[in-house]
Every structure is written in C-alpha cells, then in structure tokens.
Amino acid sequence: MSERVIPLVDQRIPTLQAPAAAFDPATRIAATGLLADRLGRPLRDLRISVTDRCNFRCSYCMPKEIFDKDYAYLPHSALLSFEEITRVARLFAAHGVRKLRLTGGEPLLRKNIEILIEQLAALRTVDGEPLDLTLTTNGSLLARKARALKDAGLQRVTVSLDGLDDAVFRRMNDVDFPVQDVLEGIQAARDAGLGPIKINMVVKRGTNEHEILPMARHFRGTGMVLRFIEYMDVGATNGWRMDEVLPSAEVVKKIHAELPLVQLGASAPGETAERWGYAGPDGRHDPALGEIGVISSVTHAFCGDCNRARLSTEGRLYLCLFATQGHDLRSLIRGGASDADIESAIGHIWGARDDRYSELRSLQPPELGSPPQRRVEMSYIGG
C-alpha cells in the first residue's frame, strides 16, 4: 500500500494560503516529552482558542468597524468539539506540554465550557502530574461562572482590564460595558479560589496610559498580579502604529517613582513577563505587597525561549502570535488519522519551527523593510 502524504495548509484567511510543510506518515516522530524546535526550544505551553466570538469590541483586537453585525463568524460545525480538543491536548501533553490556556475570542461565550474544562483537568503530563489549566477572559461573564469553572477543575484565570475609570473602560471595550461588572467578576473568581489571578492591561499611548498608576495602586497588596502589555502589531485590523506604543520601561519608571519596585527573576522558563516586586521600607521586595509584570512584545523580544503553540478554534496550529500561516490539524482529526499520525504531525511541525518574529523586527525597523505580510488576527488565536 502506498504511503499517504498529508499537506497541512491554512485556508481560514485567503491571504494565508501558502502551503505549510507536508508531513510524511512514513517518517514517524513518536512523543517522548522531549520535542524541541530548530532553535532548541521545547514545547511546554498550548493556548487553545475555543471560539472566535467576543462580546467586546476593543480597538486593539476586534474593532467594531471590522467585526460588525455582518462579520462572518465560523459556523459551529467548523469548531473543534470538546472531545476533539481534549484528544489534541492529550497528544500535545505527550510531547511535553505542561500548561493549557483556554482563550478566544471570549472563551466564556462557548456554551458548556465547563464540560471541556472537566475533560482537560483529567489529562496528565508525561510525569503523571495534572496540567496547569488556566483561562483568559474579559471578565464580563465571570461573576456568574467562576464557581462552576473552579468546580470543573480550572485552576486560575487571567482577566483583561484596561483601566479602572469607567468612561475609559467603556470607550476601550466599545460596547459600553461597565468596569464595575468586571471588578465583580474578579472578586467572584477570587472567592471561588481561581488564583493567583492575573490582570492584563494593554497600554495604548494617548488612550489609557493615565490609568497605569490607578491600576497599580488598586491591585498592590491584593495577591493579584497586574501585568502591563505593550500595544502589539498583531493581525491587520487594529490599525497599529508604533507611536501608540508606550514602552514597558516607561511604565516601570512611572510606577517606580511613586511605588518603589525591585526587579525579580523569572518564575518559569519561557515566561513572557518581566517581573517587578513592590519594595518595602527596607528597599527589598515585600511579598505581601505583591508584584507587577511587563510584557514588552514590541520593544524587547522574548523569542529566544518561547515555548508556546496556539491552536485555533477550528483546529489550526500556529507557532507564533505573529504567524502568517497555520497548520491544519482538523483535517487529520476528522479524516481518520490515528493518534500516532497526529502525534507525528505535531512533532514534524514543531521540529521545523524557527519563528522569531519579534527578534527579526527589532533588527529591521518596519520603515526600512518591505511591506508587512498579513498576519493571523489575535482574536482568532488568542493573546
């Protein structure tokens, strides 16, 4: 019988149709938990988008002028089922993944997501330990769902919150959603034991940088970690401009002037956030005051130890947040491929990975290079 060669091609977005590398089932890559890419980076973190829909219209992610009432979202039949997601996650765990993050769109819009969480919570790493299972949300539905998420096996949540001022927050989410409802969701998550909670604030110069200090004051000493994220050039719809990026170094300087900070070491390999702890009277980090993080995805590349892969809601695997192309795993899943086939495909895809977009961007400023390729939207594969 002749061997099949299965092409892995992204067809979600018309401009992203260049064929990905084919994989040949005759050349097996078995899961050993030691998979590494061409730059020696292991596979440890899988981010799973469970929906392409969101109830916010943040300008940096899903601007209303693009994602309007006529926008064609994926039909439910195109989405991976919970069983399909769990199967793929199990195969990724066999390759060494230790952390799963559910994302979207807004993941809490996916009906009965607690069932998926319960299935994923039963998975184990190659060492027989439970996977680190977390979820990123805009917090709009968290107050009503926090307890059920915890009971299903979710360990932690990260909540996106771009300011405490209600007018600023409503303007940024662009659907007139009140900040108080998100704060109540955060409290519900805390009460349910979904922690330690992380709060993500995207900082956009000219829009919400004046909210940096109020956010720092509010979350200092609460046990929650506030992280400031540079406004990123993700996708093609958010109208990104470099002059709207506030460098993380300026964020740290602004906070340090009022609330002294001490730089901390990374808590885990491949961590994207640079950590800063609040200092006590003796000038040393006071754990009771907590810490902040800054994610400098524009001004300081962290490609060197990136260990993350991203699975879209319809089963396409992306190896970088700034990818121009994905790899179609759904065709394998629904085409009758065995676990060994899919396991091997993952091995071939990750083994060929050499993505380092942010490093290359820093070496060649945009104005000196060729026009950028259209990249996958953040709303499609999560942040």
Task: Of 215, 213, 138, give the one whose Cα is nearest residue 177.
Answer: 138
Q: Quick check: is 121 in a domain? A: yes
Contact (Cβ atoms closer than 8 angstroms) between residue 189 and residue 108: no
CATH code of 214's domain: 3.20.20.70
Indicate if the pLDDT at residue 368 is higher than 60: no
Residue 22, pLDDT score: 44
Rounded distance, CA 3 to CA 143, Å?
52
Arithmetic mean of pLDDT, 304-328: 89
Q: Quick check: is 339 in a domain? A: yes
Alpha carbon 221 to chain centroid, angstroms: 26
Q: Quick check: is 5 in a domain? A: no
Q: Quick check: is 256 in a domain? A: yes
Indicate if the pLDDT at residue 1 is higher than 70: no
Amino acid 153 reads: G
Q: Quick check: is 2 in a domain? A: no
pLDDT digits (tens, 9 = 90+) for 230-277: 887 655 555 557 778 899 999 999 999 999 999 999 887 767 889 999
Q: Quick check: is 6 in a domain? A: no
Residue 266, pLDDT score: 84
CB proximity list for 216: less than 8 A, separation 6 or greater: 226, 255, 258, 259, 292
| Cα–Cα–Cα angle for 349, 266, 269, rounded to 5 degrees | 25
Domain total in the chain: 1
The model carries a pTM of 0.87
Rounded distance, CA 275 to CA 227, Å?
9
Domain span holding position 236: 14-381
The confidence band for 376, taking pLDDT boundaries of 50, 70 and 90, is: low
Residue 268, pLDDT score: 77
Residue 10, pLDDT score: 37
Expressed in percent and rounded to 5, the helix, strand and coil fractions of the chain are 30, 15, 50
Arithmetic mean of pLDDT, 8-15: 40
CA distances in angstroms from 313 to 52, 74, 360, listed in the order given:
7, 9, 28
| Cα–Cα–Cα angle for 207, 251, 377, rounded to 5 degrees | 55
Rounded distance, CA 147 to CA 188, Å?
8
Indicate if the pLDDT at residue 304 is higher than 80: no
Q: Quick check: is 157 in a domain? A: yes
The confidence band for 7, taking pLDDT boundaries of 50, 70 and 90, is: very low
Residue 280, pLDDT score: 96
pLDDT digits (tens, 9 = 90+) for 107-131: 999 999 999 999 999 999 999 999 9
**What would the two tokens of residue 235 be?**
């996708």
Q: Quick check: is 369 in a domain? A: yes
Residue 208, pLDDT score: 94
pLDDT digits (tens, 9 = 90+) for 40-98: 999 999 999 999 999 999 988 888 988 999 999 999 999 999 999 999 999 999 999 99
Contact (Cβ atoms closer than 8 angstroms) between residue 122 and residue 114: no
pLDDT digits (tens, 9 = 90+) for 336-364: 999 999 999 999 999 999 877 665 655 55
Indicate if the pLDDT at residue 285 is higher than 90: yes
Rounded distance, CA 109 to CA 50, Å?
9
